[in-house]
Amino acid sequence: MEVTIRGIGVSPGIAIGPALTFGVQAFDIPKYQVENVDTELARFERAVISVRADIERLYERTAEAVGEEHADIFKAHLMFLEDVTLRDEVERRVVSEALNAEYLVGEWIARYTKLMASVPDARFRERTQDLVDVGNRILARLLNANLESLDHLEHPSVIVAHDLSPSDAAKLDMVNTLGIATDVSGPTSHTAILARAFEIPAVVGLKFVGSHALPGDTIIVDGRTGVVVVRPSAKTRARYEEEKVRSERSRAALQAKELKPSVTLDGHEVPAMANIELPVEISHSLKTKAQGIGLYRTEYLFLNRATLPTEEEQYEAYAEAARAMAPATVTLRTLDLGGDKFVSHLHLANEINPQLGWRAIRFCLERPDIFKAQLRAMFRASVHGNVQIMFPLISGVDELRHVKSILQEVCVDLERRGVPFKRDIPIGSMIEVPSAVEVADLLAKECDFFSIGTNDLIQYSLAVDRVNEKIAHMYEPAHPAVLRMIRRTIKAAKAAGIPCGVCGEMAGDPMFSEVLVGLGISSLSMSAVAIPVVRSQVASIRYSLARRFASRILNMGSVAEVREALHRRYSQRGQLDPYAEGAADANIAGAAGEEEC
């Protein structure tokens, strides 16, 4: 029977296809006495050999597709396959109890999973998780079950999961992943951000999608409305098929239109830049004519691997971006791990409040070995183009000074060794903590640019966890407090004569383009896919009117009022089709008596 579930649409588009339930495989494991112990031992051995071949194949395919460093995890799995804990126990019990191998492997997995949950030592838990993963592969082989892995799907599928970690999301098979539906998470989780970057329709916060959809069930994911339909009727399916064709046609038409310059009708330029996380996104950015990379989330170089990336690997990645985008700017953000991004080999502790915990710059300042290697790689890459460096989660002047002293040490070291680099590259502070807004005037005197990270600024100023679907309705970019904080930050930047951009998801939402431009933002950085629409918005507004509009918005006290005003203005500008003839002329006269912002 058809089931409709509502969640939060985080990446637009419609996906229709078979469900692939990830991470919720429940194997039905038989238990029986075997007649011939030797035959059972041989069957177990064959399963191990075949799993070894699978992992080796995965290693090669991954190394070829995205580089050896990302394939290291499979090397670790090969090691775990040889681990005696599992194999010894199974072989011993097959002999002594004459029980079938899958039952014994299943028992072992259940015991270790329980143990894993009860032990506080993160290192032990991660090692055990890897062992359990390998155990699951052997179990699946013994049961002739299909243990799907996200990176190489056998056929086009809609991923259904309780949750996808950023590492899971970073290794998604971009060709065969039709859509994503998860029980938890919010619109600015990194999974949502990545789904948008790769134009994979996604709905999160569905609560129980995993228990409604069985593997292979047809499932519809509507990322525009946040609706998911499991086992749709023929009528529902036909309706969505039609809508899918229509929306794909208009998206193709939008992409085919010539991009308008990101300049307002009265000649005020607000460059539209790209946010990237994976190197493959550089080509997306070039295709959408991004005027630079406003945010390179470098933590993705650290995910899905068993060891840290070397300085050399990082240098190559940053240099590639610098070369490809030159002469446009590439803004490299230093490591922002923690929060919802974890790396198993760094043994970040399980924290009660990870978003308020040991993340981003706090982590880097305590791990100068990792931080300095990254900074060296960034400085070395600077000779290949126009690079600038920015720091996440700066909360005050002391932190910024501490960062700059480390920066200084790195430069002295590079100079002493005669390594070429540009010494005077711009250094920026992300403004994403309310305390940084409060002292923005002081921070502005000590750095070269600001970039407002609205994803975190909203989370911290409204005290709404950005990845918690239960309170996602409270996560509100249109909150007057958020808009006032943006305004204050811009004012402080202007007073110090430094530029101030926005690189949170708000920058890619065309509904906010006019108010952000009117508030005086100097650039907007977003997922490359959002660039055409936002550029068209910027090209359809008049700066002088945008300033008055922003000023009016700043005087509004309620979210509902702000939303209503933004929406009215947005529809008046000829949107929903931002490329429609005459959209650029659909200007709105400023209300009488409005002050410029």
Active site residues: 190, 503
Binding mask 174-213 for ligand PEP (x = CB under 6 A): --------------x-------------------------
Instruction: Give, as one character, the DSSP assignment of residue 574.
Output: T
209 binds, among ligand PEP, Mg ion, none (CB under 5 to 8 A by kind): none
Nearest CB to Mg ion, comparing residues 213 and 458: 458
Q: How many Å is the Cα radius of gyration of the chain?
A: 26
Q: Which two tokens stand for residue 100?
A: 């079938």
DSSP letters, 182-241, are ESS--TTSHHHHHHHHTT--EEE--SSHHHHPPTT-EEEEETTTTEEEES--HHHHHHHH
Cα gap 584→576, rounded to integer Å: 13
Only one residue has tokens 């070269």, namely: 448
Nearest 5 degrees, angle CA 120-CA 126-CA 128?
90
Instruction: Figure out which of the listed residues 179, 453, 508, 532 binds ligand PEP, where binding follows CB under 6 A.
Output: 453
Contacting residues toward Mg ion, per CB under 5 A = 432, 453, 456
504 binds, among Mg ion, ligand PEP, none (CB under 5 to 8 A by kind): ligand PEP
CB atoms within 10 A of CB 465: 22
Asked if 504 is part of the footprint of ligand PEP (rule: CB under 6 A), the reply reads: yes
Contact 570, 553 (CB under 8 A): no
Nearest CB to Mg ion, comparing residues 19 and 431: 431
Instruction: Give, as one character, the DSSP assignment of residue 21.
Output: E
User: E strand or H helix at 560, and its extent?
Assistant: helix 559-572
Nearest CB to ligand PEP, comparing residues 212 and 297: 297
CB of 31: closest distance to Mg ion in angstroms? 49
Instruction: Give, as one character, the DSSP assignment of residue 564.
Output: H
Nearest CB to ligand PEP, comparing residues 360 and 492: 360
CB of 456: closest distance to Mg ion in angstroms? 4
Nearest CB to ligand PEP, comparing residues 364 and 503: 503
288 binds, among Mg ion, ligand PEP, none (CB under 5 to 8 A by kind): none
Residues with Cβ within 8 Å of 98's Cβ and at least 6 positions away in sequence, in order, are 33, 34, 37, 40
CB of 350: closest distance to ligand PEP in angstroms? 20
Bond into 576 cis (ω within 30)? yes
Nearest CB to ligand PEP, comparing residues 130 and 456: 456
Asked if 432 is part of the footprint of ligand PEP (rule: CB under 6 A), the reply reads: yes
Q: Which stretch binds ligand PEP (CB under 6 A): 108-116, 453-461, 562-570, 575-583?
A: 453-461
Asked if 168 is part of the footprint of ligand PEP (rule: CB under 6 A), the reply reads: no
Contact 569, 513 (CB under 8 A): no
573 binds, among ligand PEP, Mg ion, none (CB under 5 to 8 A by kind): none
Asked if 284 is part of the footprint of ligand PEP (rule: CB under 6 A), the reply reads: no
Instruction: Figure out which of the listed residues 19, 159, 180, 295 binds ligand PEP, where binding follows CB under 6 A.
Output: 295
Site for ligand PEP in 296-315 (CB under 6 A): 297
Cα gap 529→254, rounded to integer Å: 11
Site for ligand PEP in 325-354 (CB under 6 A): 336
Q: Is 394 exposed, middle or buried (0-12, 13-18, 19+ CB in 10 A)?
A: buried
Closest to 301 measured CA to CA, from 63, 66, 62: 66
CB of 392: closest distance to Mg ion in angstroms? 6
# residues contacting ligand PEP (CB under 6 A) = 11
Site residues, ligand PEP (CB under 6 A): 188, 295, 297, 336, 432, 453-456, 503-504
